[in-house]
Amino acid sequence: MEKANRLGEFLRARRARVSPSEVGLPHGGMRRVPGLRREEVASLAGLSIDYYARLEQGREQHPSASVLNALGRALRLGADAQRYLFAVATPGPAPATARVHRQVGANLLALVDDWPHHPAVIIDRCTTIVGANQLGRAMYAGHRHSDNLARLLFVDEDARIFFRDWTKVATASVASIRASATLDPDDAELMALVGELSVRSAEFSRLWSKAEVREKTSDSFQIRHPQVGDLDLVFESLRPNGSPDLLLKIYRAEPGSSTAEALAVLGSLTADQTVEAPRIQRARRATSLSDTPGHSSAVTE
C-alpha cells in the first residue's frame, strides 16, 4: 500500500459503506458505485469537489484538522476510525513507543500469573502472544499458529472449528489490526503482516478492504477446545500505561458454569507446564527480536 495514498484508500472504502439514506440524501436511482459519490461527501463536509478529489487521489496531503473532522462527520466515523483518519492524513515522525518493541515487565507477567482461574494473554500490535499465564497458553495451545492470533484465525486449517463464531471474531480482529496502525501507520512489521494475510486469506483481504477500525474492548468469546470441549467466555482488553502497543486480554467464565469446570480441568491437564512454558516462550521471543535490527527484547525475566 502506497504511503502517499493511504488516506485516499481509506476515504474511498468508507464512503462506499455509507448509504445516501443514512445521511439524509435521496437515493437518486441507479448508482455506478456503492455508497456515497465523491460530490456527496464533498457537499456533506463543506468542501469543493475538486479538493475532495485531490484528497482521494493523494494529490492533497495536508488537510487541516477542521477538514478531517468534517470528513469524519460526513462519513459517520466512530472514535477509533476518526483517530485512524488523523493518523493516515497527517504522517510524521512516529512516536518513540511505536518504533520500539517495549519490554513486557516482570511485574506485569507476575500479575498475569497470579490469576490462576482466568486465561490471560498479552499480545503486541501484530497479535503475537508475547506473554501469557498457564490457562492463557493452554487455551490457544495445539495449533500450528498458536503464537499469533491473526494467523491462527486466517491461516490455520482448524480455525473455523476452534472459533465457534469465526465470522464475528474475524471481523473484530481485522478492525482491531487496523486500529493498531493508528499508533504508527508506517509500521513495517504490521504492514508486512497485513500483506501476508491478504495474500494467504481471501477472507482477510475482503474484510481489510472494508476499512473498519475498532479497538478491542470486551465481548463474548466461544471456542471449541480440543481437550476440554466448548468454552463460553467473556473477555476484557486493557492497555498497560507503560506499553500502549501491547494489549492484555483477560478471559472469564461464569462461576459454577460448565466452562468454569472445563477451565479447572484444563488447568489440571497443563499444570506440569507451569514453570517451563513461560521461560521457553520468553527466551524464544527475546532471541527473535534481538536478531532484528533496532528491536529490543520483548520480555524480561
Q: Rounded mean pLDDT of 231-241?
A: 94
Percent of the chain with pLDDT over 70: 83
pLDDT at 178: 95
pLDDT at 290: 38
Total Cβ atoms within 10 A of residue 37: 16
pTM of the complete model? 0.83
**In the predicted model, is pLDDT for residue 31 greater than 70?**
yes
Domain annotation for the chain: domains and CATH numbers: 3-91 (1.10.260.40), 98-290 (3.30.450.180)
Q: Rounded mean pLDDT of 89-117?
A: 74
pLDDT band for position 300 (cuts 50, 70, 90): very low
Please give the grid coordinates belonging to residue 205: 483481504
Question: Is the Cβ–Cβ distance between 233 and 222 less than 8 Å?
Answer: yes
- Radius of gyration, CA atoms only, the chain: 21
Q: What is the largest CA-CA distance in the chain?
A: 66
By 3-state DSSP, what share of the chain in percent is helix, strand and coil, each rounded to 5? Answer: 50, 10, 40
Please give the grid coordinates belonging to residue 268: 489440571
3-class SS of residue 152 = helix
| 51-56: long-range contacts, CB 8 A cutoff, minimum separation 24 | 55/7, 55/8, 55/11, 56/8, 56/11, 56/12
Q: Give CA–CA dist 206/198, Å, rounded.
A: 8
Sheet of strand 229-238, all strands in order from the earlier edge strand to the far edge:
129-132, 120-123, 247-252, 229-238, 218-225
Q: Give CA–CA dist 221/236, Å, rounded.
A: 10
Please give the grid coordinates belonging to residue 274: 507451569
Average pLDDT across the chain, whole number = 86
Q: Rounded mean pLDDT of 231-258?
A: 93
**In the predicted model, is pLDDT for residue 84 greater than 60?**
yes
Question: Is the Cβ–Cβ distance between 284 and 147 less than 8 Å?
Answer: no
pLDDT tens sequence across 43-62 = 999 999 999 999 999 888 88
pLDDT at 91: 66
pLDDT band for position 96 (cuts 50, 70, 90): low
- Side chain identity at residue 281, one-letter code: Q
